[in-house]
Structure 1
């Protein structure tokens, strides 16, 4: 993008409904300042419906490129959802007609395409700062009604002991059932999941985009950055607590023997696990259920990053 903005102008039109909040407008304004060839307009819809197109067009000397798809600029749309995009190369009359239609929209709605600094834009996006559908806000208790946290009480949770895996336990092994029905992988094919670790004090790790991995021994794995460089403990198996969010991504906490929360998670597994003693214990539950056994976990008040 930086290389393109050195050589060409780029016009961006963003909606002001639901997702676009004050922080997003501030970020775009800052980008305009440092990238003079970037011009951003906010579409202040004259009706209540969403501004929902996902369309990019690029004018070349001999053709027009259109990129059209379903992906929203949200955490789910960018990182975890199943989305589709197509690239069209138009020439001749097709290119001229498509470009004319785009220009017609811009001209027809010129009165609703406003600078980011316009007071009407600022007032409109400020209303989104408190919208449940906007980007998740800072650390908020799960039981709060007027400001929900990233974790809802109904979110599905997996509490799982992590095997040693020959000393490479950051390649965390799971049984096939949880691999497919909790994480959404599929045996025989590969897909990616998006995770972020949560430390004991609530600090989020980096976003991890991990491919599903199958090995011949019928183990099913995802790599966990939070386990990197940590020797496998001798006092008991590490316990991972994974929460599947509404966005499709996962947040997780790794607990080692002796750490705060480990004993409560281990007791929870002991009370709920009814499988063979030779297997690692893995229990599916809900956030509300686990919170009853471990109410002080940082997972319940996790803040999600702004995009």
Structure 2
């Protein structure tokens, strides 16, 4: 059976009907996921509660909680690109190309942020990355370009509304990651990549040597101030003690103080633990995105 998102998610489930049913053997139900065990329960707008046996499920797709326009995806992705821009950026025919010596996928990929972006720009993008000795990865949010390539690192972009909250004095906030922060983070990412932000503010949060995280506030073209939470890491010996939740709540409070009205996180689809954490904090799916090698798309046309 396909994996299920957390309870409370909006889903589309295709499942088998009982044998002997006169209607087609497969049908779909769309609504809010209410339970997943022992049977799946979905609350629909028209039919109330619909129960589905887990054994009968053929496919599951998580949907945004409310309808999301392509323009809203583009605006959020623009704010997110400013919050993780790499150490070098350039506009190439509607695409924002970012480079940072190969450290992190987000900081070393091109994203189509302008309506003018098409596959016609791929040769230029490929050359731009080749000049820097980097592979030409494309960061492709769904619905912005009709590209069917499966790609890698399938990611959920989750969002939540922000409200004013009191800062947590037990969480340390810094403008730069110090040695302790970098040690807990554990990833080999230069400070110059972590601190990079375009037209925004960045902060580094820590709870002693137990947990760290990064927050960045940037403004989308539609005027929305977004807080992006990233680089959340909890030391192995401190996990399942509430540190990640505490740290994220401190970052949410910091973002609200900086004028952000909404927050987002970008989570790999297979990272079920992080998805459950952010879901508990009120985040819900906005859209999906993935990474595709630009070379694999050469020769195609929109």
Structure with higher strand content: 2
Structure with higher helix content: 1
Q: Same fold (TM over 0.5)?
A: no
TM-score, normalised relative to structure 2: 0.24
